[in-house]
């Protein structure tokens, strides 16, 4: 007897799996890098990414195929982080972001090292450590922009804030990070100067 | 465009977030203003440095296997 077509409107499992692999699983590296910076350790990042992928697969029918899977997945990842990990892995944010007035590094190095060659002497781990020390709101904005190359609009969507907030956080996050790296470079003797 | 306006748009310019018209005004200003040009170069190099330092990590192979196992029972 011929098989009657299923009244179910959801796509067959094979098709669902194929589109998930094509559009979502390809972003595993991005999710891991962002997860690692949010949680601060590889084991929690693994769990967070795993959970994100499970949630995403369950909700896959709601995702409009061919739109922005990366932003959609990062939104899920961030919600999962806020709901389940932030309390566990990091202390609640007590920093007053508006009170942070980062020091501008360029005027300090303009005469001796205008190209910022001292940055090149700073190794990966030190840069990641400095990023991890940024306040949460700055860190997530900077990672989405500077590590993952997302647009202001995409970041605003993922973080649920206006584009103007993304701009101002990005400006201050970058300058704060520059200050931290500059201080480190001075301390290590990579560049002359006094720590900010 | 003066120096202050130009520097206000610094990151939007480097992030390619401006309209072509404002972008052109900034390029014109940078051509005529070496101090601003130097500052833009410094910031651009910093962003390149940051990306190069942070993108080396990818998801561990074991995590990929774990996700596939969990999703598709493999």
Q: Indicate the residue among A89, A113, A140 that finishes a domain.
A: A89
User: What is the pLDDT at residue A90?
Assistant: 57
Q: How many domains does chain A have?
A: 2
Q: Residue A25 and residue B12: Cβ atoms within 8 Å?
A: no
pTM: 0.86
User: What is the pLDDT at residue A92?
Assistant: 57
**Do residue A67 and residue A38 come from a single domain?**
yes
Q: Residue B50 and residue A29: Cβ atoms within 8 Å?
A: no
Q: Indicate the residue among A29, A63, A89 that finishes a domain.
A: A89
ipTM of the complex model? 0.90
In chain B, the percentage of residues whose pLDDT exceeds 90 is: 81
User: What is the pLDDT at residue A161?
Assistant: 96
**Do residue A101 and residue A77 come from a single domain?**
no
User: What is the pLDDT at residue A141?
Assistant: 96
Q: Which residue has the higher pLDDT, B26 or A5?
A: B26
**Do residue A161 and residue A102 come from a single domain?**
yes
User: What is the pLDDT at residue A4?
Assistant: 55
**Do residue A111 and residue A148 come from a single domain?**
yes
**Interface with chain B: mutation pick from A17, A20, A50, A126, highest number of B CBs within 10 Å:** A50
Give the nearest partner residue to B17 out of A114, A131, A152, using CB atoms: A152
Q: Residue B43 and residue A20: Cβ atoms within 8 Å?
A: no
Tell me if A194 is assigned to some domain: no
CATH number at residue A133: 1.10.10.10
Using 50, 70 and 90 to split pLDDT, how confident is the model at B65? very high
Using 50, 70 and 90 to split pLDDT, how confident is the model at B73? confident
Tell me if A123 is assigned to some domain: yes
User: What is the pLDDT at residue A162?
Assistant: 97
CATH number at residue A27: 1.10.1740.10
Tell me if A7 is assigned to some domain: no
Q: Which of B4-8, B10-14, B70-74 is most confident?
A: B10-14
Tell me if A5 is assigned to some domain: no
Tell me if A195 is assigned to some domain: no
User: What integer best gives the mean pLDDT of chain B?
Assistant: 92
A124–chain B nearest CA distance, Å:
5
User: What is the pLDDT at residue A13?
Assistant: 75
**Do residue A122 and residue A180 come from a single domain?**
yes
User: What is the pLDDT at residue B11?
Assistant: 95
Closest chain A residue to the Cα of B44, Cα to Cα: A115
Tell me if A2 is assigned to some domain: no
Q: Residue B60 and residue A178: Cβ atoms within 8 Å?
A: no
Give the nearest partner residue to B59 out of A29, A116, A149, using CB atoms: A29
**Do residue A18 and residue A85 come from a single domain?**
yes
User: What is the pLDDT at residue B1?
Assistant: 86
Three-state SS sequence of chain A: CCCCCCCCCCCCHHHHHHHHHHHCHHHHHHHHHHHHHHHCCHHHHHHHHHHHHHHHHHCHHHCCCCCCHHHHHHHHHHHHHHHHHHHHHCCCCCCCHHHCCCCCCHHHHCCCCCCCHHHHHCCHHHHHHHHHCCCHHHHHHHHHHHHCCCCHHHHHHHHCCCHHHHHHHHHHHHHHHHHHHHHHHHHCCCCCCCCC
User: What is the pLDDT at residue A193?
Assistant: 77
Q: Which residues of A touch B47 (CB under 8 A)?
A: 146, 174
Q: What is the mean pLDDT of each run of 10 residues along chain A (196 residues)?
A: 56 85 94 93 94 96 91 96 74 67 82 87 90 93 94 96 95 94 92 71
Tell me if A193 is assigned to some domain: no
Give the residue numbers spanning the domain of A135. 97-187
């Amino acid at each position: 007897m011929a098989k009657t077509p299923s009244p179910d409107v959801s796509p067959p499992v094979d098709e669902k799996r194929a589109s998930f692999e094509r559009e979502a699983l390809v972003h595993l590296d991005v999710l891991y890098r962002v997860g690692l910076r949010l949680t601060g350790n590889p084991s929690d990042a693994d769990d967070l990414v795993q959970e994100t992928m499970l949630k995403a697969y369950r909700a896959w029918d709601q995702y409009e195929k061919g739109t922005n899977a990366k932003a959609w997945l990062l939104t899920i990842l961030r919600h999962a982080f806020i709901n389940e990990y932030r309390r566990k892995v990091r202390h609640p944010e007590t920093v007053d972001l508006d009170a942070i007035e980062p020091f501008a590094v360029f005027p300090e190095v303009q005469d001796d090292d205008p190209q910022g060659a001292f940055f090149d002497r700073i190794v990966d781990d030190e840069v990641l450590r400095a990023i991890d020390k940024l306040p949460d709101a700055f860190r997530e904005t900077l990672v989405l922009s500077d590590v993952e190359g997302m647009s202001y609009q995409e970041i605003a969507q993922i973080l649920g804030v206006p584009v103007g907030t993304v701009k101002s956080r990005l400006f201050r996050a970058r300058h704060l990070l520059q200050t931290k790296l500059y201080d480190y470079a001075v301390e290590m003797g990579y560049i002359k100067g006094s720590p900010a | 465009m003066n120096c202050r306006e130009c520097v206000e748009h610094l990151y939007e310019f480097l992030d390619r977030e401006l309209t072509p018209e404002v972008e052109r005004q900034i390029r014109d200003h940078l051509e005529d203003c070496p101090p601003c040009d130097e500052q833009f170069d410094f910031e651009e190099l910093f962003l390149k440095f940051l990306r190069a330092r942070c993108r080396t990590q990818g998801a561990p192979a074991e995590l990929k296997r774990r996700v596939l196992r969990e999703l598709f029972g493999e």
